[in-house]
C-alpha cells in the first residue's frame, strides 16, 4: 500500500467535504462565491501536480491503482476541465433554486471518480470509479428539479446508465470467471501463458460487454441514444462536464482495458472498432443537421467526436493513441468555451428553450462571447489553424498510416474516407451556428452582456488553448508521444 | 445431488426474475417486489451451493430483508394505480423481445461451446469464508472499498437534494 500515490484524489475529496461543511456557515447571498473558491483550490491542486515529485511508474493498493504518465496526463486533464466547469457553475448559480454548495461539491466528487478512473488497474477499481462518476451525474443532470426537461434527462440517464452498469458487471463476471483474476496486467500474463484463453468465447464476450459499458460512457453507437436528450435537459455546466470529463474517463478506461489487459485481442477487435467508429461518426454528423436546440446539437456533435476518438483506437498504433490524447486536449478547450458562452447567453435571455436563434446579434451584445463561440465552432468543425483541426488531422493520419497493414488495407482507407465525410458534413451545422451569430435577420434583443472577471479569464484561457494547440502543436504532441511510449511499449 | 439443486435454484431464480419484471397475471408493483424477494432467496440458494455461506446469509438479511422493505415503503408511498393503468408500447415489446432473444442466443451458444473453468486454478478459502472476505476487502480491495464510501455519500446528498421539499 502506498497512500501518497492518491494524494491528489484525497485533496479533491477533502475539498468536496469541506464545501459541504462550509455551506453551514456561509450566508445564502455569499454561497455563490464558494464555487470560485473551489475553482481556485483546484488550481492549486493542478499546480501541485507539476510541483510535487511523483513516481514515474508506480502501482499501489495491491496493484489496483497505477500512477504512470497516462494517469497523470488524464488527472491534469480532468482538473482543468473541473476548474472551468466550476466557473461555469457560478455563472449558472442563479438558476438553481436550492443546494448551490452541493452543486459544486458533487462536481468535485465526480472529479475524484474520474481521477481514480485514470489510475484504474483492475476491474474492481474500474467499476467503482465508473459508478462514482455515473451516480454523481444522475443527481447532477436532474439538478434543476423545477424543469421537466432536467428531470427527464435525469431519469433517462439513470435507466440507460443502470443498463450499461448491468452489462459492465456481467462482463467483469465473465472475465473473472474465465481468467481467474481482476487485474489488467495479470489478465495479459494469463493470455500469454495460455493462448486458449484469448479464444474462449466467454472471455471474449466479457470483453465485449465491458466495451459496451464503456461505449455508453463515451456515447458511441449503439449506446448513444441517451446523449442528445441528456445533453439537452441537463444544466449547461453539467452537460459540459459530461461531454468532456465523463467521455475522457471512458476513453482512458477503454485504453487501459484494450491495451493493458488484452493487448493481443486489440488486433482481433479492429474490425469491431472500425465499424463502430465509422457508424458513430456518420450518425452524429447526419443527425446534427436538423437540430435547432444548441445543446442538442452539441450532443450529436459529441457523438461524432466519440467516433473520431475510436478512429484513433482502431488504428491500433501508438500514433493513433497519441492522436486521441491530442484530440482530447483540444476538445477540452473547445467544448468548454462553447458551453461557457451558452451558459452566459442563456442567463441574459428571457426564453429558456436554447434555440440557436437566441445567439442572433451576439457580436453586438458581447464581442468576446461571439469570438469565443465562433472559434469553438470553427475548431469543432476542424478548420485550420485551430486545435480541432490538428486533432482530427492526427487521427486521420494515424488511420491512413495503418492502411499499410495488408489485412485491413481497404478497410482503413474506407474508414479514413468516412472520417473525412464526417468532417465535411459537420462543416454545415457548425457554420449554421456561426451564421446565427453574425448573419441572422432582425435580432430581437441587443442588450449588451457584461461578463464577470472569472468568466472572462476562463474564456481567454479557452481561446488561448484553442489557438496555441492549433498553431504550436509540438509541445503537447511531444508530451502525448512521450506518455504513449512510456505506457504502451 | 448438487447438480440437481443447482438446476432447481437456477430455474427458480430465472422464473421469479421474469415474474418480477413481466408478470402476465398482475401489474401490481407490490407483487413484483415480492417476486424480487423470491429471486434474491433463490440466489442465496445458489450461493450456498458455492459454499459461500456468509454471502448467502447476507443476501437474505440485507437484500431480501432490509433493502426490500425500503423498496416496499417507496412503492406504497407512490401512486401505484398509475403504474397499473399504463399500457405497453408494442414497438418497445418487439424491440425488447428481439434484443433478449439475440443476447440469449449469443450467451447460450458461447456457453455451449466453451469449456467453462478449464485450466483455471482455484485456491480453496482457508478458514471461514467470512474472515477471507473481510481480509480481501481490507487489504487487496481497500481502495475501492473506501471509494464506495464516497459513492454512498454522493447518493445520500443526492437523495436529500432531489426529494427535500424546500431547501435554502
Compute CA A197 distance to the chain's CA centroid, rounded to the nearest angstrom.
33
Residue in chain B closest to A23 (alpha carbons) equals B168
Within 13 Å and on the Cβ side, how many CA atoms surround A140? Answer: 30
* pLDDT tops 50 at residue B168: no
| Bridge partners, A122 (sequence order) | A183
Say whether B110 and A136 touch across the interface (CB within 8 A).
Answer: no
* pLDDT tops 90 at residue B51: no
- Which CATH number describes the domain made up of B2-122? 1.20.120.1200
CB-nearest partner of B143 from A13, A64, A205: A64
N-terminal to C-terminal alpha carbon distance within chain B = 62
Q: Which parts of chain A sit beneath pLDDT 50? A: none
Q: How far is B115 from chain A (nearest CA, A)?
A: 8
- How far is it, in rounded angstroms, from Cα A19 to Cα A99? 12
Say whether A180 and B121 touch across the interface (CB within 8 A).
Answer: yes
- How far is it, in rounded angstroms, from Cα B37 to Cα B156? 24
Residue in chain A closest to B109 (alpha carbons) equals A201
Q: Using alpha carbons only, how large is chain B's radius of gyration in Å?
A: 20
Q: How many CB contacts within 8 angstroms connect chain A with chain B?
A: 99
Which of the residues A142, A178, A195, A197 would you substitute to probe the B interface, choosing the one with the greatest number of B C-beta atoms within 10 Å? A178
* pLDDT tops 80 at residue B121: no
- How far is it, in rounded angstroms, from Cα A438 to Cα A356? 12
Cβ(A115)–Cβ(A67) below 8 Å? no
Which pLDDT does position A57 carry in this prediction? 84
Reported as a single tens digit per residue, the pLDDT across A227-252 is 999 999 999 999 999 999 999 999 99
Say whether B111 and A202 touch across the interface (CB within 8 A).
Answer: yes
Say whether B150 and A197 touch across the interface (CB within 8 A).
Answer: no
Which pLDDT does position B76 carry in this prediction? 84
User: What is the residue-wise DSSP string for A78-138?
Assistant: HHHHHHHHHHHHHHHGGG--S-HHHHHHHHHHHHHHHHHHHTB-BHHHHHHHHHHHHHHHH
Cα angle value A380/A378/A445 (rounded, 5°): 110
Which pLDDT does position A55 carry in this prediction? 82
Query: CA-CA distances (angstroms) from residue A75 to A53, A239, A355, A376, B27?
Result: 15, 20, 34, 23, 48
Within 13 Å and on the Cβ side, how many CA atoms surround A130? Answer: 30
Which pLDDT does position A276 carry in this prediction? 93
A287 touches chain B (CB under 8 A): no
* Per-residue DSSP letter, B125: P
CB atoms within 10 A of CB A162: 11
Report ipTM (2 d.p.).
Answer: 0.91
Reported as a single tens digit per residue, the pLDDT across A72-99 is 999 999 999 999 999 999 988 888 877 8
Which pLDDT does position A21 carry in this prediction? 93
Reported as a single tens digit per residue, the pLDDT across A42-74 is 999 999 999 988 888 888 888 889 999 999 999
Host H or E run for residue A65? strand A65-67
B92 touches chain A (CB under 8 A): no
- How far is it, in rounded angstroms, from Cα B96 to Cα B22? 12
B106 touches chain A (CB under 8 A): yes
Which of the residues B114, B123, B146, B154 would you substitute to probe the A interface, choosing the one with the greatest number of A C-beta atoms within 10 Å? B154
Q: How far is B87 from chain A (nearest CA, A)?
A: 19
Cβ(B141)–Cβ(A120) below 8 Å? no
Query: CA-CA distances (angstroms) from residue A49 to A16, A79, A113?
Result: 18, 10, 17
Q: For chain B, which residues make up each domain, given as ranges?
A: 2-122, 124-168
B157 touches chain A (CB under 8 A): yes
- Kindly list the residues from chain A whose CB atom is less than 8 angstroms away from the CB atom of residue B122: 180
B116 touches chain A (CB under 8 A): yes
Q: How confident is the model at residue B116 (pLDDT cuts 50, 70, 90)?
A: low
Which pLDDT does position A158 carry in this prediction? 94
Which pLDDT does position B123 carry in this prediction? 66
Amino acid at each position: 500500500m502506498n497512500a501518497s500515490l492518491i494524494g491528489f484524489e484525497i485533496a479533491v475529496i477533502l475539498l468536496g467535504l469541506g464545501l459541504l461543511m462550509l455551506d453551514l456557515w456561509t450566508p445564502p447571498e455569499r454561497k455563490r462565491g464558494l464555487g470560485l473558491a473551489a475553482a481556485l483550490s483546484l488550481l492549486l491542486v493542478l499546480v501541485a501536480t507539476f510541483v510535487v515529485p511523483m513516481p514515474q511508474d508506480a502501482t499501489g493498493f495491491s496493484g489496483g491503482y497505477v500512477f504512470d504518465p497516462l494517469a497523470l496526463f488524464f488527472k491534469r486533464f480532468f482538473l482543468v476541465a473541473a476548474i472551468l466547469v466550476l466557473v461555469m457553475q457560478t455563472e449558472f448559480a442563479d438558476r438553481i433554486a436550492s443546494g448551490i454548495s452541493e452543486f459544486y461539491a458533487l462536481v468535485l466528487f465526480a472529479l475524484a471518480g474520474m481521477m481514480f478512473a485514470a489510475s484504474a488497474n483492475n476491474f474492481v477499481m474500474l467499476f467503482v470509479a465508473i459508478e462514482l462518476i455515473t451516480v454523481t451525474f444522475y443527481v447532477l443532470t436532474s439538478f434543476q428539479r423545477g424543469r421537466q426537461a432536467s428531470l427527464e434527462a435525469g431519469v433517462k440517464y439513470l435507466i440507460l446508465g443502470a443498463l450499461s452498469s448491468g452489462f459492465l458487471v456481467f462482463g467483469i463476471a465473465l472475465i473473472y470467471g474465465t481468467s481467474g483474476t481482476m487485474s489488467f496486467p495479470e489478465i495479459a500474463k494469463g493470455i500469454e501463458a495460455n493462448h486458449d484463453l484469448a479464444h474462449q468465447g466467454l472471455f471474449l464476450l466479457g470483453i465485449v460487454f465491458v466495451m459496451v459499458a464503456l461505449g455508453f460512457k463515451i456515447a458511441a453507437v449503439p449506446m448513444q441514444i441517451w446523449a442528445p436528450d441528456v445533453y439537452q435537459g441537463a444544466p449547461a455546466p453539467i452537460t459540459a462536464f459530461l461531454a468532456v470529463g465523463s467521455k475522457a474517463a471512458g476513453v482512458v478506461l477503454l485504453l487501459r482495458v484494450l491495451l493493458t489487459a488484452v493487448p493481443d485481442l486489440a488486433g482481433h477487435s479492429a474490425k469491431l472498432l472500425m465499424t463502430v467508429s465509422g457508424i458513430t461518426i456518420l450518425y452524429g454528423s447526419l443527425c446534427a443537421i436538423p437540430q435547432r436546440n444548441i445543446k442538442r446539437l452539441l450532443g450529436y456533435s459529441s457523438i461524432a467526436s466519440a467516433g473520431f476518438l475510436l478512429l484513433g483506437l482502431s488504428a491500433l498504433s501508438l500514433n493513433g493513441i497519441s492522436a486521441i490524447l491530442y484530440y482530447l486536449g483540444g476538445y477540452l478547450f473547445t467544448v468548454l468555451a462553447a458551453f461557457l458562452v451558452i451558459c452566459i447567453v442563456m442567463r441574459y435571455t428571457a426564453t429558456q428553450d436554447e434555440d440557436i436563434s437566441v445567439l442572433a446579434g451576439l457580436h453586438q451584445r458581447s464581442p468576446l462571447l461571439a469570438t469565443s463561440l465562433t472559434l469553438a465552432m470553427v475548431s469543432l468543425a476542424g478548420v485550420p489553424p485551430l486545435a480541432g483541426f490538428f486533432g482530427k488531422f492526427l487521427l486521420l493520419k494515424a488511420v491512413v498510416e495503418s492502411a499499410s497493414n495488408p489485412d485491413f488495407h481497404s478497410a482503413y482507407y474506407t474508414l479514413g474516407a468516412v472520417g473525412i465525410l464526417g468532417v465535411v458534413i459537420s462543416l454545415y451545422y457548425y457554420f449554421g451556428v456561426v451564421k446565427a451569430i453574425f448573419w441572422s435577420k432582425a435580432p430581437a434583443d441587443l442588450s449588451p452582456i457584461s461578463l464577470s472577471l472569472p468568466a472572462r479569464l476562463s474564456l481567454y484561457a479557452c481561446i488561448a488553448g484553442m489557438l496555441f494547440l492549433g498553431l504550436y502543436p509540438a509541445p503537447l504532441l511531444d508530451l502525448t508521444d512521450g506518455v504513449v511510449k512510456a505506457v504502451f511499449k | 445431488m448438487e447438480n440437481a439443486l443447482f438446476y432447481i435454484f437456477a430455474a427458480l431464480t430465472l422464473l421469479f426474475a421474469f415474474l418480477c419484471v413481466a408478470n402476465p397475471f398482475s401489474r401490481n408493483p407490490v407483487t413484483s417486489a415480492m417476486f424480487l424477494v423470491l429471486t434474491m432467496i433463490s440466489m442465496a440458494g445458489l450461493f450456498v451451493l458455492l459454499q459461500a455461506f456468509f454471502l448467502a446469509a447476507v443476501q437474505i438479511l440485507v437484500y431480501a430483508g432490509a433493502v426490500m422493505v425500503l423498496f416496499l415503503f417507496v412503492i406504497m408511498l407512490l401512486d401505484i394505480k398509475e403504474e397499473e393503468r399504463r399500457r405497453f408500447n408494442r414497438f418497445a415489446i418487439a424491440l425488447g423481445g428481439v434484443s433478449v432473444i439475440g443476447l440469449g442466443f449469443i450467451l447460450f451458444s458461447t456457453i455451449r461451446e466453451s469449456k467453462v473453468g478449464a485450466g483455471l486454478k482455484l485456491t480453496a478459502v482457508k478458514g471461514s469464508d467470512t474472515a477471507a472476505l473481510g481480509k480481501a476487502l481490507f487489504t487487496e480491495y481497500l481502495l475501492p472499498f473506501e471509494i464506495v464510501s464516497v459513492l454512498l455519500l454522493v447518493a445520500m446528498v443526492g437523495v436529500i437534494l432531489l426529494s427535500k421539499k424546500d431547501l435554502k
